[in-house]
Amino acid sequence: MSFLLNKKTYNSRLIIGSGKYKSFKQTKKALDASGAEIITVAIKRTNLGQETTQENLLDYINPNDYKILPNTAGCYSAKDAIRVSLLARELLGDSLLKLEVLADKHTLLPNENETFVAAKELVKLGFSIMVYTTDNIKLAKDLEEVGCISVMPLASPIGTGQGIVKPENIKKIIKNAKVPIIIDAGIGTASDATIAMEMGCDGVLLNSAIAMSDNPILMAEAMKYAVISGRKAFEAKRMGISDSAIPSSNKKDAIS
């Protein structure tokens, strides 16, 4: 069940985001219920005029207990993404990063060119890049070849909860890959996560599916089992699909 990412073994193949929760307390509870060991955070300006006693997300999610995966959310160019990456490395003292360069504010789809340019540059700067990308098969391979440690194609656009829109593309990306393929964005419910894992994805990264459900703690737990279930089914290798019915019991012992 465990998997290797950036030379470290993780027991959980579920990575969760920390956005959209009602409170830091709820974020922490959902994180614990999900069993995830890696949690993504965004790097943004601090609120000014706050009290020095105001809590910070990192007071709740202790970087000694979890792997904090900073992202470059809010970046629309390679230049901005590189700047945020350097700030993230300074903040967390670690080179692991989720690279995300978006095309526009409406679709929130990855900007393929800028993502590629940023990935190449950040690898040169010594970052370990997990890259958010489209389900473009060629680009996924190119991102691997420039040195990204994980390629993370979307299931469907961020926050839509539509599940995997083009499973055939994801399957081809997995088949071509030598680095972990992690589905990132678009997962809506537990069965979507299971389907991704059954296909052979190495992991699933999701945020809204938990945070925007009516009961995030319960959904976090559902996602934990969904990912485990999908992975076990993948490892067990499913039965073949038949056009005609095949009885489950042996014919020769039939009474009549």
Partner 1 sequence: MNVILNGKEFLLDKKISLNNFLITHNINTNNIVVEINGSIITKSLWDEYVLKENDKIEIVTAVGGG
Which chain residues interact with partner 1 by CB under 8 A? 17-21, 27, 40-46, 48-54, 56-59, 68, 70-71, 73, 83, 86-87, 90-92, 158, 185, 205-208
Shorter beta-carbon distance to partner 1: residue 49 or 247: 49
Active-site entry in 28, 67, 98, 224:
98
Q: How far is the CB of 75 from partner 1 (least distance, A)?
A: 12
**250/151 Cα distance (integer angstroms):** 46
Phi and psi (nearest 5°) for 69? -110, 100
| Cβ distance to partner 1 smaller for residue 52 or 256 | 52
CA–CA separation, 111 vs 100, rounded Å?
9
In this structure, is the dihedral angle defined by the CA atoms of residues 138, 142, 144 and 145, taken in order, positive or negative? positive
The verdict on whether 98 is a catalytic residue reads: yes
CB of 163 to partner 1, least distance (A): 16
CA 108 to chain centre: 16
CA dist 205 and 237 (Å) reads 23
Q: Closest approach of Cβ 196 to partner 1, in Å? A: 16
Q: Which residues contact 189 (CB under 8 A, 6 or more apart)?
A: 161, 163, 209, 219, 222
The answer to whether residues 205 and 185 touch, using CB atoms and an 8 Å cutoff, is: yes
Closest to partner 1 by CB, 53 vs 256, is 53
Cβ proximity to partner 1: between 27 and 213 the closer is: 27
- State how far the Cα of 92 lies from the Cα of 231, in Å rounded to an integer: 31
Closest to 76 in 3D by CA, of 44, 52, 111, 127: 111
User: Which lies closer to partner 1 via its Cβ, residue 12 or residue 207?
Assistant: 207
Q: CB of 53 within 8 A of CB of 12?
A: no
Q: How far is the CB of 243 from partner 1 (least distance, A)?
A: 42
SS3 call for 237: coil
Q: Which is nearer to partner 1, 170 or 211 (CB)?
A: 211
Distance of CA 26 to the CA centre of its chain: 20
> Which residues does the annotation mark as catalytic?
98
